[in-house]
């Protein structure tokens, strides 16, 4: 059965028409779909006639058509001979023209059945890359819908109004009271001729090559939009979503899915040469995944720019933690699209390992319309003149299936979830555990895999901890481990805002970490939902673990506080609201202009870096000229 869901934004447009006091008695709804427009027009008092294919498939309890609506099934819009000339005061045609091979013939028939001076309300989908069965045309924007209607002899001048709203490019125009034929060449010069003859909306200056992707022309809402949310077309750059399940890819998939579920159009670009590869994270229906070459040379650059130009997003969101940010800004500047850079690391870490210097970061962030940081502490790493563009929004994780019960397990279980790499500092945790007096009644479980696996296993054996330390390897879903644990420990030295800590909090676990570790020192409040240790030492960490696992009352208290803190600050609902608000605000900003010297420098360096390939780009040093340093 066809999907009976309402097209996003459609109800607003119907109510706008009803509220505009047009002189209408008889209205024809062409291709009525689920019948929402016909039903609302009927309730308002219009005399409604409707056409549609497979009408019986759309009938349900919500949209059962009243007997007062005159239904005609299987009427071709290009041949509506069952209707008389000049029979209707208005025609409503929504999401039909994309199915019509001969659009000109359809509009000619619509003019025929309209009374002179009658209204045409037309809605078509915005442009998209995907090919859909039945869609002969891939979409419109406001400009080319106006051009189509003006060229086909409709009157747009006095009352013409157009808007892109929800999943609709919508227009209002009229049939001329007296037919006025215009000879068009359907070539260069036609737009200027139509402008000269007042065929476009009043005040609109149409010229060859005018920008058709505008939000609206001469539109004035007649209804309250207090609950209205702007629908965006967003392009996410999520670097390795087909290759692994890292934190950046996790957050990126969450952002994309959230925006799609809220009615926005979402496309994910990822660096992937294998066309058969799929996302490691589940993507919601409607999220399009586009693979772009890993080695972005000049040829590949053209491919990416063409894909973006065809998609024409309202906003580019680039997630990363190093020099790859240059690529996102480069693409956005070339196409004059607002860009938001979403950073997922403590800024000190890339500088420390040499893959993103302080000056590089400041220069490239100064070119973005929006900057997403994970903690307030990271704001001080950027200059004052760009702080108005910063949004501080934390990460989020899904709620727990089942809460942990810290202090109630027969054997106390300490858990760490991390890749087995140097900066996660798991070796320090193992050494610290060797100092725990209570370790004969405790178990340390380490979830994760990585290059340090063998070294860490040898360390466990050397310290005679083989009976008390378990390596569980990589787990697609570690939630069951959190459920059966009593304490979460994160010994990292550098983080952004670790998802693992949020997962532990969502399960109601107390947490121990280091005060020097960014992100952790905002998630954990010392003495409230865990301990933040000032000294980075195995002795100090061991004592803190020992002290806490012996105190079951405090374990339980810290766990309760962790869960409350998660629900207030880090749960899906509050974070999703902040993300959506951040995207909408950035999309509505004017694109920053760069001066000639900046543009020449940035172009040269972007191209130089692109030739290095995406992974190599992380190592590729971008020398900043002194005059560009901030």
pLDDT, one tens digit per residue, over 191-250 is: 999 999 999 999 998 899 888 988 899 998 888 665 556 788 999 999 889 998 888 899
Task: Pick 233-396+587-628's CATH classification: 3.30.1310.10, 3.90.78.10, 3.20.20.120, 3.40.50.2000.
Answer: 3.40.50.2000
User: Where do the structural domains in the chain lie, given as residue ranges?
Assistant: 10-217, 233-396+587-628, 412-570
- Give yes or no for residue 424 having a pLDDT over 60: yes
pLDDT digits (tens, 9 = 90+) for 345-383: 888 776 766 667 777 788 888 889 999 999 988 898 888
pLDDT of 606: 53
Of these ranges, 239-253, 428-442, 500-514, the one predicted with the greatest mean pLDDT is 500-514
- Give yes or no for residue 323 having a pLDDT over 60: yes
Q: Among candidates 583, 4, 497, which has minimal Cα distance to 259? A: 583
Q: Cβ neighbours of residue 259 under 8 Å, at least 6 residues apart?
A: 232, 234, 266, 579, 580, 583
Task: Examine domains 10-217 and 233-396+587-628 and report if their fold is the same.
Answer: yes
148 — pLDDT class (breaks 50, 70, 90): very high
Q: Among candidates 77, 94, 212, which has minimal Cα distance to 146? A: 212
Top-confidence residue, 113 or 230: 113
Strands 168-175 and 154-155: antiparallel
User: DSSP strand E in 498-567: where?
Assistant: 511-514, 530-533
pLDDT digits (tens, 9 = 90+) for 273-296: 998 999 999 999 889 999 988 876
Fold entry, domain 412-570: Rossmann fold (3.40.50)
pLDDT of 599: 55
Place of tokens 């070119």: 367
HSE (side-chain half, CA atoms, 13 Å) at 405: 5
Top-confidence residue, 106 or 2: 106
Q: Among candidates 287, 257, 150, which has minimal Cα distance to 206? A: 150
Instruction: Tell me the C-alpha to C-alpha distance, in Å, between residue 189 and each of 146, 157, 198, 199, 203.
Output: 16, 19, 15, 14, 19
622 — pLDDT class (breaks 50, 70, 90): very low
pTM of the model: 0.61
* Burial of residue 67, with CB atoms counted within 10 A of its CB: 0-12 exposed, 13-18 middle, 19 or more buried: exposed
Q: Among candidates 247, 218, 326, which has minimal Cα distance to 608? A: 326
CATH architecture designation of domain 10-217: 3-Layer(aba) Sandwich (3.40)
């Amino acid at each position: 059965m066809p999907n009976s869901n309402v097209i996003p934004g459609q109800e607003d447009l119907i109510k706008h028409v009803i509220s505009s006091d047009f002189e209408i008695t008889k209205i024809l709804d062409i291709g009525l779909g689920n019948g929402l427009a016909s039903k609302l027009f009927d309730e308002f008092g219009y005399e409604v006639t409707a056409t549609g294919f497979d009408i019986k498939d759309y009938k349900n309890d919500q949209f059962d058509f009243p007997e007062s609506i005159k239904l005609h099934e299987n009427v071709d819009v290009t041949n509506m001979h069952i209707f008389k000339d000049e029979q209707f005061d208005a025609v409503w045609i929504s999401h039909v023209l994309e199915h019509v091979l001969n659009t000109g013939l359809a509009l000619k028939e619509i003019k025929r059945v309209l009374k002179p001076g009658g209204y045409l309300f037309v809605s078509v989908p915005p442009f998209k890359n995907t090919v859909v069965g039945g869609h002969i045309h891939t979409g419109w924007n406001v400009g080319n819908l106006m051009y189509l209607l003006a060229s086909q002899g409709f009157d747009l001048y006095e009352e013409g109004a157009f808007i892109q709203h929800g999943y609709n490019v919508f227009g209002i125009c009229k049939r001329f009271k007296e037919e006025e034929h215009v000879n068009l060449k359907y070539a260069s010069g036609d737009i200027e001729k139509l402008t000269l003859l007042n065929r476009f909306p009043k005040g609109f200056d149409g010229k060859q090559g005018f920008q058709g992707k505008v939000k609206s022309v001469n539109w004035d809402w007649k209804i309250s939009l207090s609950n209205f949310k702007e629908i965006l077309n967003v392009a996410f750059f999520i670097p390795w979503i087909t290759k692994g399940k890292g934190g950046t890819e996790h957050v990126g998939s969450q952002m994309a899915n959230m925006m799609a579920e809220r009615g926005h159009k979402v496309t994910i670009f990822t660096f992937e040469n294998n066309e058969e590869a799929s996302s490691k994270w589940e993507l919601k229906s409607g999220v399009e995944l586009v693979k772009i070459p890993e080695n972005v040379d000049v040829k590949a650059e053209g491919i990416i720019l063409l894909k973006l130009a065809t998609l024409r997003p309202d906003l580019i969101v680039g997630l990363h933690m190093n020099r790859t940010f240059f690529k996102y800004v480069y693409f956005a500047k070339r196409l004059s699209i607002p860009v938001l850079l979403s950073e997922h690391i403590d800024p000190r870490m890339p500088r420390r390992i040499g893959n993103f210097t302080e000056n590089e970061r400041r220069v490239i962030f100064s070119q973005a319309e929006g900057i997403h940081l994970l903690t307030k502490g990271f704001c001080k790493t950027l200059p004052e003149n760009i702080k108005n563009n910063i949004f501080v929004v934390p990460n989020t994780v899904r709620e727990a299936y089942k809460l942990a019960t810290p202090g109630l397990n027969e054997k106390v279980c300490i858990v760490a979830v991390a890749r087995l790499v140097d900066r996660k500092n798991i070796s320090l945790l193992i050494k610290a555990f060797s100092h725990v007096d209570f370790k004969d009644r405790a178990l340390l479980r380490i979830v994760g895999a990585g290059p340090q696996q063998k070294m860490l296993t040898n360390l466990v054996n050397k310290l005679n901890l083989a009976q008390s330390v378990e390596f569980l390897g990589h787990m697609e879903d570690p939630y069951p481990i959190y459920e059966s644990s009593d304490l979460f420990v994160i010994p990292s030295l550098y983080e952004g805002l670790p998802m693992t800590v949020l997962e532990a909090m969502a399960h109601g676990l107390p947490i121990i970490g280091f005060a020097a570790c960014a992100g952790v020192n905002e998630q954990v409040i010392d003495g409230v939902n865990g301990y933040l240790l000032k000294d980075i030492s195995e002795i100090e960490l061991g004592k803190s673990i020992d002290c806490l696992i012996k105190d079951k009352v405090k374990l339980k208290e810290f766990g309760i506080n962790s869960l409350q803190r998660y629900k207030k600050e880090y749960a899906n609902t509050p974070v999703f609201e902040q993300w959506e608000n951040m995207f909408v605000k950035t999309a509505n900003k004017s694109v920053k202009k760069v001066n000639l010297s900046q543009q020449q420098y940035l172009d040269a360096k972007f191209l130089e870096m692109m030739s290095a390939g995406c992974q190599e780009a992380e190592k590729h040093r971008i020398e900043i000229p002194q005059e560009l340093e901030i």
